[in-house]
Amino acid sequence: MNVAIMGHGVVGSGVAEILIHRNSLIAERIKNDINIKYILDLREFNDLSYSDKFTKNFSDILNDDSVKIVAEAMGGINPAYDFVKRCLLAGKSVVTSNKELVAAKGAELIKIANEKNVNFLFEASVGGGIPVLRPMVQCLAANEITEFSGILNGTTNFILNKMIVDNMSFEDALKLAQENGYAEKDPTADIEGHDACRKVCILATLSFGKHVYPEQVATDGITKITLDDVNAADSFGCVIKLIGHAEKLTNGKITAFVRPTVVSRENMLSGVNGVFNAIMITGDQTGEVMFYGKGAGKEATASAVVADVMDCAKHLESRKYLDWCDGDDNYVVNDTDSEEKMFVRIIGKDFDSLKATFQKEFGSLTSSVTKNEFSKEICFITNPIKKSVLNEKLSRFENIEIKILHTMI
Ligand code: HSE
């Protein structure tokens, strides 16, 4: 069985190495021999044992009918979208780890795959090496999924963890993440929440059936989180995590977001540390089910891509039906204004007068904190309240700095 790999970066090289070094094990498991016929990359790789497989010409792959499966590991939308689409139209199955591509173009690419009777699989696009999409679609198939919450980005989880455990500033923790190779030189997609947003889109679409597009997901990253926020949350027995969440509303629509959230230490997601990811899915029959593991990294991600290649090879003549329709403009509701407990941090003139003022407005502040005698802040967790009501109450106060974070208690 001839396959091609597009892209020889971190994930693509991992895919090549697993397919070559585990060739006989894979053959034994799928009763077929996988042979890498081409690796597409514009760079030179002259010193590898498989250097003879490289091509700079996409047409070599596209026009070779013996190539039945293509693993896309280029990342980004262009030219990945064009190449993947043309491979599917040419009757080749495609597997990918490219969350940006799947989140933006999944509905269209799955439709083409269905029409051409081939597969388009993307297990590695969410949670890296964590098996989550297949279990969700297959093992939880008898459930209505009602909601999910997850830590879907390893880089931001590493940064927040360093702030929580080592009292590091956001800037220092980001630098360390870059030194360790977790964060890119340009870390925008991670720290601004875009990467987690794409994963929410994929999970939400598979959970609820209709394509959720990145621009429909309210997305907030971690760049505004300070050490003071982290310490204030800690004083309530909570940690701040970047949470991706989606849930089905009673009117059939859904809500989806990515945002820094104050998570109680009693919640299992609070214990997910470092670059690890976890996804908690609620099925109406199973209740909560949790998936945990390495959400990024060469070997973990490549192992999921190779498993998809193996699945395609085993099911060349039968395709996986994924429940993935086009989305529409009114499907995702961002501002449900439901009642939630809110974490409020207020910096003003002095603790006593702030406390007295807010006690008047919110009743007794059982959870107010002050870190030292000079502190000019109060911090509390409200009873369930609509954000609009909270904002209205807080808007009456001037010359104070207010930060509100959602909670997951
Ligand atoms: N940059 C991503 C992360 C890699 O940190 O989780 C996988 O999408």
Q: Where are the alpha helices (DSSP H) in 116-153?
A: 133-134
Within the chain, all domains assigned CATH 3.30.360.10 are found at: 134-294
On whether the CB atoms of residues 178 and 158 are closer than 8 A, the answer is: no
Phi/psi at 176 (5° precision): -65, -40
- Residue found by looking up tokens 């994929």 in the block: 202
Ligand 1 centre distance from Cα of residue 296 (Å): 5
190 lines ligand 1 (CB under 6 A): yes
Cis bond leading into 384, ω under 30°? no
Ligand 1 centre distance from Cα of residue 318 (Å): 32
Beta strands (DSSP E) in 41-159 are 54-55, 67-72, 93-96, 120-121, 145-151
Which has the closest alpha carbon to 35: 318, 309, 319, 317? 309
- 199, 241, 298, 320: which one is catalytic? 199
Ligand 1 centre distance from Cα of residue 232 (Å): 27
Range 2-129+299-314 has CATH code 3.40.50.720: yes
Within the chain, all domains assigned CATH 3.40.50.720 are found at: 2-129+299-314
**Other CB atoms closer than 10 Å to residue 80's CB: what's the count?**
21
Which has the closest alpha carbon to 36: 58, 9, 61, 63? 61
Ligand 1 centre distance from Cα of residue 155 (Å): 6
295 lines ligand 1 (CB under 6 A): yes
Q: What is the pLDDT of residue 275?
A: 92
Q: Which long-range contacts (CB under 8 A, 24 or more apart) does 387-396 make?
A: 387/337, 387/340, 387/342, 388/337, 390/342, 390/344, 393/361, 393/362, 394/344, 394/346, 396/361
pTM higher than the cut 0.85: yes
3-state DSSP assignment of residue 45: coil
193 lines ligand 1 (CB under 6 A): no
**Diameter of the chain measured on Cα atoms:** 77
Q: Which two tokens stand for residue 68?
A: 């039945």
Q: Which atom of ligand 1 is nearest to the CA of 182?
A: 5
Q: What is the pLDDT of residues 142-190, one digit of tens each?
A: 999 999 999 999 999 999 999 999 999 999 999 999 898 887 778 999 9
Q: What is the pLDDT of residue 366?
A: 67
Q: What is the pLDDT of residues 157-168, one digit of tens each?
A: 999 999 999 999
- Per-residue exposure over 97-127, b if at least 16 CB sit within 10 Å of its own CB, e if not: bbbbbbbbbbbebbebbbebebbbbbbbbbb
155 lines ligand 1 (CB under 6 A): yes
Q: How many alpha carbons lie under 13 Å from residue 263 in its C-beta half-sphere?
A: 25
Q: Which atom of ligand 1 is nearest to the CA of 152?
A: 6
Which contiguous run of DSSP H or E holds residue 324? Answer: none
Q: Which atom of ligand 1 is nearest to the CA of 295?
A: 6
Ligand 1 centre distance from Cα of residue 389 (Å): 36
Domain formed by 343-408, architecture: 2-Layer Sandwich (3.30)
Catalytic: 162? Answer: no
Domain 134-294 fold: Dihydrodipicolinate Reductase; domain 2 (3.30.360)
* Ligand 1 probe mutation, 152, 153, 197, 198, most atoms within 8 A of CB: 153
Nearest CA to ligand 1 atom 7: 296
* Ligand 1 probe mutation, 97, 151, 195, 299, most atoms within 8 A of CB: 195
On whether the CB atoms of residues 172 and 161 are closer than 8 A, the answer is: no
Task: Report the distance separating Cα 31 and Cα 29, nearest Å.
Answer: 6
One digit per residue, the tens of pLDDT, for the chain of length 409 reads: 999 999 999 999 999 999 999 999 999 999 999 999 999 999 999 999 999 999 999 999 999 999 999 999 999 999 999 999 999 999 999 999 999 999 999 999 999 999 999 999 999 999 999 999 999 999 999 999 999 999 999 999 999 999 999 999 999 999 999 898 887 778 999 999 999 999 999 999 999 999 999 999 999 999 999 999 999 999 899 999 999 999 999 999 999 999 999 999 999 999 999 999 999 999 999 999 999 999 888 999 999 999 999 999 999 878 777 878 899 999 999 888 899 999 999 887 777 887 888 888 887 776 777 665 567 788 889 889 999 999 998 888 877 889 999 999 8
Ligand 1 centre distance from Cα of residue 294 (Å): 10
